[in-house]
A and B are shown apart, each in its own frame.
Chain A
Amino acid sequence: MSVLKIKDVSKIFPNGNVRAVDSFSLEVADGELVCLLGPSGSGKSTLLRMVGGFERPTSGEMTIDGEDITHVPPEKRPTGMVFQSHALWTHMNVFKNLAFGLKLRKVAPDEIKRRVEAVLDLVGLAGYGTRHVAQLSGGQQQRVALARSLVLEPKILLLDEPFASLDQHLRERLREEVRDIQQRLKITTLFVTHGQDEALSMADRIVVMRDGKTEQIDRPDVVYREPQTPFVAGFIGTMNLIEGNVANGIFSKAGYSTPLPVSDGPAILAVRPEALDLAVASEGSQGKVHRVTDYGTHGLVDLELNDATRVKAMVSHPDLFRAGQGVTLAPRAIAAYRDGVVIHRA
């Protein structure tokens, strides 16, 4: 049972008085994998480093299984961190990298050997103990970095963009492997990434962060389908965000209008490209096709509304559309935002 609780944690860096994390609260349940997702500078890495003990929170409290760890130094925390750059010790071979933490804990040599071999087997590197880390590929190095954390059996596993330095193919393979290992060991995990694919495919829950604050905490499917703020809507996946006005229950923008049962005033209409149907129209068109891209399995049509606002629509038959054609838009699912919060979803 390893539960991580973060309560009202803030971090203000003295240089420039930057508030990197602002009153952040989160509870990560036992065995859960939570992804901190956000753009650069959103405070996700700072938050992870605070959980790891490498940054001191300016205020707030952090507990693991009820034990306050807010001011505990990293070497005494029951956490294990995997760094973006692997951070392997190049003067040691793979075995020594993994055994170092166990030796510091005065584990018996036989037990060290057993545990190191077991964890190397777990990450698919059985027999690699005598290899020098410089002889390993990037993916193997990242597995060693993961094994180095896992061998100590931490209560909380912290992953700081562990796949950022790997190529796309390897990244996809490794994230599946890491997820498998995490589920097999049922280890509570906090994972930082700025890759939404990683977050959506791995996480039990996603925390979308912006300017050190939480924008939304939800299951990946909910974050994707029901973004709570225009920022989340724009950040996760591709989303058309059309700024317009609502009058008498009709949203309108540059010749395009659609019913929107909310009070009058400005609003942002959010429509996913896959939820926007197009029809070629010789008269009464609401937009004009700018470009058609055929991806084989589907097509993506770039449209321009009358005021040059760009909108994307996913179509199953891209060959039906040509640049310059007039089209009408028919959204199947919409959300509307005002003052940064959702006001309508249909």
Chain B
Amino acid sequence: MTAIDAGQPVLAAPERRRPIGLLLVAVPVLLVIWLIIWPIISAVIQTVWVKTPEGGNSFSVETYRFFFSDGYSLSNLSITLWTTGVCAILLLVVCLPIALYLRFSDSKVAAYVQGLAIFPMFVPSIILSFAFIRVLGPNGTVDLVFNAVGLPKIRSPYLTPWGPVIGLVWDNIPLTVLILLSGLGNVSNQAIEAARDVGAGKLALLWHIILPRISNSVLVAISFAVLGIFSAFTLPYVLGPAAPEMMGPFMQRTFRELFEPQTAITQAVITFGFCIVFGLFYVRSVARNQAP
């Protein structure tokens, strides 16, 4: 009986701690609600609960109908999807070999390669944009070098859809490499050796052993890249064509130059809609992969 009495305060402790725990999580939760959830809800409401000429409010999907029937808006959405898709593929093509090299190389060069791969993380997008223009733009370094050796001028990707693609890929290399590298850290050397032992060549090793083991990391890396690229602003704004334009610059121009805030908010909601589809796909894939 004494033991039970003595144990009571100990059993009651979690009950007492519960309000403290709830208070600790309340601050970030409230911030998320205030800064993310509420603006989303507010934006959606503003696009469907519109002012009537009589001064009242009514439900309308006119702004969405306009977006999805307007050729220019649709071509902007389509160039954004194209840029995002191409960037995602290029990021995998570029970053996977780098991450594989960094994971499996014993060479001292690997440290320098890692430094170079992570370097863009510390370069602001605007600096990166101007560096791009100075190197690949008209009369840039590449042109000058080609001219010096008597080669013709290149067709500069600057102000073409490939401009933002190159810039965004370069900008996203560090995060993608780091995420893939962290995934590759879970592939043990013995698992690789066991596969080689049963006869797996390099391609079979990559396809049957490494890629299935890092599928979650690939999903995370691509999801992060896609979410960032889809709503990117600086690089598409500086390096991309005037028309069609990606959703980021399109929203800004609609808001600032055309003074159509409701249309801009509609574009933002549609952009958010695509991003949340990617997000849900990522969450579902990760959950499915983690299921026993």
Contact = CB atoms under 8 A, between A and B. Distances in A.
Interface of A: 52-54, 73-76, 79-81, 83-85, 87-91, 100-101, 104-105, 132, 134-135, 145, 148-149, 152
Contacts of A52: 193, 197
A87 B194 contact: yes
Interface residues of B, number: 18
Nearest to B213: A91
A87 B199 contact: no
Nearest to A15: B106
B212 A91 contact: yes
Given A91-B212, A91-B213, A132-B292, A100 B193 contact: no
Given A132-B292, A134-B292, A85 B190 contact: yes
Interface string B203-222: 01000110011000000000
B198 A87 contact: no
A129 B193 CA distance: 22
A87 B208 contact: no
Nearest to B192: A87
Contacts of B201: 75
B253 interface: no
B96 interface: no
Interface-central residue, B194, B199, B200, B209, by most chain A CB under 10 Å: B194
B51 interface: no
19 contacts: A52-B197, A74-B197, A75-B197, A75-B201, A79-B197, A80-B198, A83-B190, A84-B190, A85-B188, A85-B190, A87-B190, A87-B191, A100-B195, A100-B198, A101-B198, A101-B199, A104-B199, A104-B200, A145-B194
Interface in B263-287: none
B196 interface: yes
Contacts of B200: 75, 100-101, 104
A296 to B, nearest CB: 39
A83 B194 CA distance: 8
A108 B230 CA distance: 46
A74 B193 contact: yes
A175 to B, nearest CB: 21
Nearest to A158: B197
Contacts of A80: 197-198
A83 B193 contact: yes
A100 B201 CA distance: 12
Contacts of A79: 197
A90 B213 CA distance: 8
B27 to A, nearest CB: 38
A89 B195 contact: yes
Contacts of B209: 89
A59 to B, nearest CB: 21
Given A101-B199, A104-B198, A152-B198, A87 B193 contact: yes
B199 A152 contact: yes
Interface of B: 188, 190-191, 193-201, 204, 208-209, 212-213, 292
Nearest to A49: B193
Contact of B208 (A54, A73, A100, A148): A100
A145 B208 CA distance: 17
A90 B198 CA distance: 16
Contact of A148 (B193, B196, B198): B198
A105 B198 CA distance: 9
Contacts of B188: 85, 87
3 nearest CB pairs, A to B: A101-B198, A87-B190, A87-B194
A75 B196 contact: yes
Contacts of B198: 75, 80, 100-101, 104, 148-149, 152
A134 B196 CA distance: 22
Contacts of A91: 212-213
Given A75-B200, A100-B198, 16 more contacts: A73-B196, A74-B196, A75-B199, A80-B197, A81-B193, A81-B194, A81-B197, A83-B190, A84-B190, A87-B188, A87-B190, A101-B199, A132-B292, A135-B292, A149-B197, A152-B198
Given A75-B199, A152-B199, A104 B204 contact: yes
Contacts of A148: 194, 198
Contacts of A132: 292
Given A100-B208, A132-B292, A134-B292, A89 B197 contact: no
Contacts of B292: 132, 134-135
Contacts of A134: 292
Interface-central residue, B196, B204, B209, by most chain A CB under 10 Å: B196
Contacts of A85: 188, 190
A228 B14 CA distance: 66
B195 A54 contact: no
A152 B213 CA distance: 24
B117 to A, nearest CB: 25
B215 to A, nearest CB: 8
A87 B188 CA distance: 8
Contact of A105 (B191, B193, B199, B212): B199
A89 B200 CA distance: 13
Contacts of B208: 100
Contacts of A152: 198-199
Interface-central residue, B188, B195, B197, B213, by most chain A CB under 10 Å: B197
Nearest to B202: A75
Nearest to B190: A87
Contacts of B197: 52, 74-75, 79-81, 149
A263 B190 CA distance: 53
Nearest to A101: B198
A141 to B, nearest CB: 12
Nearest to B193: A54
B212 to A, nearest CB: 4
